[in-house]
Amino acid sequence: MITLILALGCGAAAGLVLGALGAGGSMLTVPALVYLLGFTPSEATTASLVIVAVTSVAALVAHARAGDVRWKAGTLFAVAGIVPAAVAGLAAARLPQSVLTAAFALLAGFAAVRMLRSTRATPSPPAEESVPAEEPTPGEEVTGEAHPGKAAATGAGLGALTGLLGVGGGFLAVPALVTRLAFPMRAAIGTSLLVIAVNAVASLAMRGSVTSSLDWATVVPFAAASILAARDGRRVASRISGRLLQRAFAIMLLAVAGLMLLDALT
């Protein structure tokens, strides 16, 4: 019963972060699974991939209905990450647990610092006052002017990251789609969910032995709570300063990264 309550609580927290910030939920998922629910790092990254895949697909449906998914360009971006995600997923199951923990801690620390730096930048106008100059109509494909090789390299790198550490990588995917493929922000967020879901499924395909041994009685309620709480996260974000939310999450993430790195080195 205690495990179920913890799974629901942790899933809700991850979902709130994802809903409020559009990324970062999986950064809480792996530490919660390891330190609160007793998963090994390998099991935690695999379980995180399941949660990321399910949550991404659920959110993708809503964004697709709003016309914010660029299917053609997003699929090309995602395809470049399938093989790296699968290979990295296979490698992750064979790496020492301490290596996985340290790698995740370093990535979490990088994400936290990146978020803190972005909050110091000049704030953009409120969303309701910002109107993109040439917002494409729903369903219109955006290909951008980026070189296909650069887009493929970015997609491959994101796939490897997702496969190895079990993170969605939304904090990297969205900027990549904006800068490399010239997507408007709404389309980048929606399309990143497609990329993340494809990479997560590709990685899971190479983790068969670990996936079959997961504690599904914990993973399923965790994922369900995350999906449901993501809706509330959007409401929270509409009432509280986005910079404040991002800064608070970054500080918490930095603390988690430090503790995980200390654990890996001792």
Asked whether the CA dihedral 252, 22, 228, 237 is positive or negative, the reply is positive
- How many Å apart are CA 118 and CA 113, to the nearest integer? 9
- pLDDT confidence bin for 7, thresholds 50/70/90: very high
Among all chains, which residue has been given the structure tokens 């809503």?
A: 62
Residue 209, Cβ density class (10 Å: 0-12 exposed, 13-18 middle, ≥19 buried): exposed
pLDDT of 128 over the 50 cut = no
Neighbours of 248 (CB within 10 A): 13
- Tell me what the mean pLDDT of segment 82-101 comes to: 82
| pLDDT number for residue 122 | 44
Q: Does 252 or 87 have the greater pLDDT score?
A: 87
- d(CA 41, CA 189) in angstroms, rounded, equals 28
- Give the pLDDT confidence score for residue 143 in this predicted structure: 43
* 194 vs 239, residue with greater confidence: 194
* CB contact at 8 A, 31 and 260: yes
pLDDT-derived band at 245, boundaries 50, 70, 90:
low
Alpha-helical (H) ranges within the chain are 2-21, 25-35, 41-65, 71-92, 97-119, 148-165, 170-181, 185-205, 208-212, 216-239, 242-265
pLDDT category of residue 236 using cuts at 50, 70 and 90: low
- pLDDT score of 220 more than 80: yes
Q: Across residues 82-104, what is the average pLDDT? A: 83
Under the banding of pLDDT at 50, 70 and 90, the label for residue 136 is very low
Task: Report which of residues 176 and 39 the model is more confident about.
Answer: 39
Residues 201-211: what's their mean pLDDT? Answer: 76
Alpha carbons 106 and 115: distance in angstroms, whole number: 14
Range of weakest confidence among 30-39, 43-52, 118-127, 163-172: 118-127
Confidence class for position 131, pLDDT limits 50, 70, 90: very low
pLDDT of amino acid 58:
83
Tokens of 105: 């801690």
The confidence score (pLDDT) of residue 183 equals: 78
Q: How many residues are present in the chain?
A: 266
Sign of the dihedral through C-alpha 206, 212, 218, 224: positive
Q: pLDDT tens digits, residue range 172-204?
A: 777 777 767 777 877 877 888 888 888 888 878
- Are 18 and 233 contacting, i.e. CB atoms less than 8 angstroms apart? yes
Q: What is the dihedral of CA 249, 179, 199, 49, to 10 degrees?
A: 0
Q: How confident is the model at residue 233 (pLDDT cuts 50, 70, 90)?
A: low
Answer yes or no: are the C-beta atoms of 24 and 168 closer than 8 Å: no
pLDDT at 241 over 90: no
Spell out the residues 6+ positions from residue 259 whose beta carbon is closer than 8 angstroms to its own.
none
Is residue 171's pLDDT more than 50? yes
pLDDT band at 5, cuts 50/70/90?
A: very high
pTM above 0.85, yes or no: no
CA distances from 224 to 2, 58, 90, 250 (A): 17, 10, 26, 25
Q: CA 119, 120, 122: angle at the middle one, nearest 5?
A: 95
Domain ranges for the chain, please list them.
Answer: 2-121+141-265
Assign 169 a pLDDT band (cuts: 50, 70, 90).
low
Average pLDDT over residues 59-63: 81
By the 8 A CB rule, do 81 and 196 touch?
A: no
Which pair of structure tokens corresponds to residue 18?
Answer: 């994802």
